[in-house]
Amino acid sequence: MLNLITLKQRLTDGLIFLFILLLGLTILIGSGGGGGGSTTSDASDDSELLSYYNLRVTGVDDPLDDWSAGLNVRLTQDGMSYQLRVDPQSLEAGYLCDPTTRQCRLDRIDTATRIEVYDLDEPDSLFGDFRLQVLDEWIIDESGLAVSGALQLAQASGFGFIELAVNQCDEGWGVNITDNGALLGCYTWNQLEGLLRQSSVDVERLADLAYGILDELFDLIDSQVLGSFELLDDHLETVGNISLACDRFSDVGLSPPPPYEAWDQGERIFHWVDDTGEWDLGAGDSFGYLINRCWRNDPQSLVDILTNGTVDLIAFTELVDGADWLQRIGFEGTTNARVGGVFFDYFVWIETLTDEMLNRTSVDTEQVINGGISVVFFAP
């Protein structure tokens, strides 16, 4: 949940959430038809992508588990541990799409976005509870660069109001950080991402933590929701589950980081649950990942991801209108007496750091995530 790298890099390097809907949406909408449920209409292979979609994410409470609404997270970093519950009251954003190439990118983060964060470390609370609110709409240009926007953190006690406003610093793009109206300075994205572990100023550390929360919510949507769309096809409907290969440390001359030395190569199993009972993959059904020590190596980066645990995608929603335009897609509502959404069960997200000189890896940050959120893309 508290990945303090990804979104900042994407905002500055232009890597922000380009996802190919051709793989998922065309196959998906053309393969299963309705599948049951009030949000469903029959679809065809000619279903078209609109040029724009809104995104809405909210915290949900699954009565089958003991977790409160939203995501419960334990972050371990540099020997420090933080426990938080992140409950998106409403995370609102917009994605700009090219119907021809069927590629979409994050275009804005709306002022309707409000996220409640609860500090679970009491009585040894470090920051206390706080609320994140997008004050000014975040605008992302076509290169993936944030060109405007402001995020406010309102703390239940202590610091009051902290604001992060996108600005051009002397060394490059970043944010102005203000503490109750007083300017602390302009921080580039790289400077911001190191404040939680390096700064002795609580306001600076809290600013980095707050922005990391927003980052991680988008990162989970990107990896666990958008990444699942391309897997929903006729083959999955036939076999019921598919195995997804993971990278092997030893193939690139590395060893897994301590204390995970035995995790050389794992696997991910993606499976279909026919909740509608119609033997027809489509809306109203559910899916899930069973992840066993899966490492994903990015040759272009020294930071890679090692995951373990389960992710359940409950109550798939798709809506295509009579003219074959995709109007809505995601995981929400209910199905087969289950609450819809994306649910994490002891989902471990580890960032591994490669030391090229010593040819070894180490754990940079480790997160354990439980709980659920509903995620839906829909026409404006």
- Predicted confidence at residue 158, as pLDDT, reads 62
- Predicted confidence at residue 136, as pLDDT, reads 96
Biggest alpha carbon–alpha carbon distance for the chain? 61
3-state secondary structure of 37: coil
Place of tokens 């995501």: 71
Q: Which residue has the higher pLDDT, 27 or 158?
A: 158
How large is the average pLDDT for residues 140-144? 83
Q: Which residue has the higher pLDDT, 20 or 180?
A: 180
- Predicted confidence at residue 28, as pLDDT, reads 34
pLDDT in tens, 268-307: 999 999 999 888 888 999 999 999 999 999 988 888 999 9
How large is the average pLDDT for residues 241-255? 91
- Predicted confidence at residue 152, as pLDDT, reads 95
pLDDT in tens, 107-134: 999 999 999 999 887 656 667 899 999 9
- Predicted confidence at residue 8, as pLDDT, reads 41
Strand (E) or helix (H) holding 236:
helix 234-239
The contacts of residue 150 (CB under 8 Å, 6+ apart) are: 134, 135, 136, 163, 164, 165, 166
Q: CB–CB of 50/35 below 8 Å?
A: no
Q: How far apart are the first and last CA of the chain?
A: 28
- Predicted confidence at residue 50, as pLDDT, reads 95
CA atoms within 13 A on the CB side of 313: 31
- Predicted confidence at residue 123, as pLDDT, reads 57
pLDDT in tens, 312-343: 999 999 999 999 999 999 999 998 888 999 99
Q: In which band, very low, low, confident or very high, does the pLDDT at 103 lie, cut at 50, 70 and 90?
A: confident
Q: Poorest-confidence range of 227-236, 245-254, 267-276, 332-341?
A: 227-236
Q: Poorest-confidence range of 80-89, 119-128, 205-214?
A: 119-128
DSSP 158: S
Q: Poorest-confidence range of 40-44, 321-325, 359-363?
A: 40-44
- Predicted confidence at residue 373, as pLDDT, reads 95
- Does 15 have pLDDT greater than 50? no
How large is the average pLDDT for residues 215-236? 81
| Residues forming beta bridges with residue 244, ordered by sequence position | 268
Question: What Cα–Cα distance (Å) separates residue 121 from each residue in 75, 127, 176, 208?
Answer: 11, 9, 29, 18
Percent with pLDDT over 90 in the chain: 49
Both tokens of 170, joined, read: 């002397």
Place of tokens 């690139």: 252
- Predicted confidence at residue 69, as pLDDT, reads 86
CA atoms within 13 A on the CB side of 267: 7
Both tokens of 82, joined, read: 């933080």
